[in-house]
Amino acid sequence: MRCSVVAVGTELLLGQIVDTNSSWLGEQLASAGIDSLFQVKVGDNLGRIVATLRSTLEQADAIIICGGLGPTHDDITREAIAEIMGVELEMNDEVALVIDQLFTSRGRRMPQNNLRQAMVPKGAKIIEQRRGTAPGLICPVGEKVMYAVPGVPFELYEMFERAILPDLLARSGEASVIKSRVLRTWGDSESGLNERLVGVINELEKVGNPTLAFLASGWEGIKVRLTAKANTESQAIELLDIWDAKVREQVEDLVFGVDGQNMESVVLQNLRERKLTLGIAESVTGGLMAGRLTAIAGASDVFRGAIVSYDSEVKFELLSVSRGPVVSESAAKEMAVGVRKTLGSDIGLAVTGVAGPTEQDGVKVGTLCVGLAMPNGDVRSTTFSLPYGREQMRQFSVISALNFLRQSL
């Protein structure tokens, strides 16, 4: 079963709204074992919608069309569908009644243009509206099918789960399940990973299932995604477990998490398991690291707080750093010791560096010094040479420093 998605709306093409519906549908389809072929965004233009539906339907068994079912003149998905089906639109009295009642129940008079939403291509089946005014449509085209749903996400989600997915599964007659697992890595390039995993990749290409892909995710590191197809969910998971282990055998040192985990959540969890609290001192990252750690719900049982010592005076006075140049490993160590003491945390982590645009005290842009004060009084430090660009350097600093802490635990 191959299913494509067509998202209708000029506002999507103009970037005024990001099309998250297609992504959501792609995820749902994948986990139901249905292949996604294409996802297309097209504006509110009848000719182009019809052309898109026609060419998309040539290659797929099913299309889900999102949006363009509203009451206004630029909502023309119904007309496009009727043209593809080669039928007329006709008023569905039951739908009209429901829409009218919706308005009445909210104490409002129904504007006449709302009746457009009760127009249905002949031969199409209605997906009853439960959250909005527009019904969805199931429109057979020979052996194939087009589904139309409103673009409002929570209406779409509900109709997909209630009516579209069951219909798709009934049509596909296939019972196979597709499951993915993402291994999060940090510390090597995409090509470096590829080289270390070449044996696994060659083996996988022979067996064909699961598949492996690299997702370069900038300052989130490189993701290694395994996708397995099987008859049952547990068989798919078993396959993933086997190949997950083979991947880790080669790159165990780089894998810091799985699926929804990120460096922040992993570090917080590691600290939690060891019953250790963390305090941080930030200079170059200016609060970004604390901001990312506290984006994780439940950070408060581990994270004491941070001192953002952006001005050097704050380093000297509040963190007892020795006066002098402040981008060095010795300054980073003093910051770590100072913040551990000031915030009363078990561990002190500190970053100081140069984000640019210009170098500072002769230290190059991209230099990051990390200091770490451990519960036993041990103090260590390291220096990274990070990519240029203010935002990039700062984001890389956060994950590099947290990874240094993770490896030191």
Does 325 sit near its own copies (CB under 8 A)?
no
CB of 364 to its own copies, least distance (A): 11
Does 114 sit near its own copies (CB under 8 A)?
yes
Show contacts with its own copies in window 4-33 (CB under 8 A).
9-20, 22-28, 30
Contact between 351 and 332 under an 8 Å Cβ cutoff? The reply is: yes
CB of 123 to its own copies, least distance (A): 26
Angle at the Cα of 254 (from 253 to 256), degrees rounded to 5?
A: 100
Of 189-197, 267-275, 324-332, 370-378, the segment contacting its own copies by CB under 8 A is: 189-197
Does 234 sit near its own copies (CB under 8 A)?
no
Does 335 sit near its own copies (CB under 8 A)?
no
Among residues 262, 309, 381, 400, the one that binds its own copies under rule CB under 8 A:
309
Among residues 88, 161, 313, 361, the one that binds its own copies under rule CB under 8 A:
313
Among residues 108, 206, 275, 323, the one that binds its own copies under rule CB under 8 A:
108
Q: Is 13 helix (H, G, I), strand (E, B) or coil?
A: helix
Q: Which is nearer to its own copies, 14 or 170 (CB)?
A: 14
Contact letters (x/-) for its own copies, 252-281, by CB under 8 A?
A: -------------------------x----
- In DSSP notation, 291-343 reads HHHTTSTTGGGTEEEEEE--SHHHHHHHS-PPSS-SSSHHHHHHHHHHHHHHH
Contact letters (x/-) for its own copies, 50-69, by CB under 8 A?
A: -xx--x---x----------
Angle at the Cα of 271 (from 269 to 272), degrees rounded to 5?
A: 60
Does 311 sit near its own copies (CB under 8 A)?
yes
CB of 382 to its own copies, least distance (A): 13
Q: Read off φ and ψ for residue 207, nearest 5 degrees.
A: -80, -25
Show contacts with its own copies in window 33-52 (CB under 8 A).
36-44, 48, 51-52
Does 381 sit near its own copies (CB under 8 A)?
no
Does 152 sit near its own copies (CB under 8 A)?
yes
Report H helices in 133-187.
153-159, 165-172
Does 1 sit near its own copies (CB under 8 A)?
no
Q: Which long-range contacts (CB under 8 A, 24 or more apart) does 367-370 make?
A: 367/327, 368/284, 368/393, 368/396, 368/397, 368/400, 368/401, 369/327, 369/328, 369/329, 369/331, 369/332, 370/332, 370/400, 370/401, 370/404
Nearest to 222 by CA among 200, 202, 203, 247: 247
Does 387 sit near its own copies (CB under 8 A)?
yes
- Give the C-alpha separation, 215 to 385, whole Å: 23
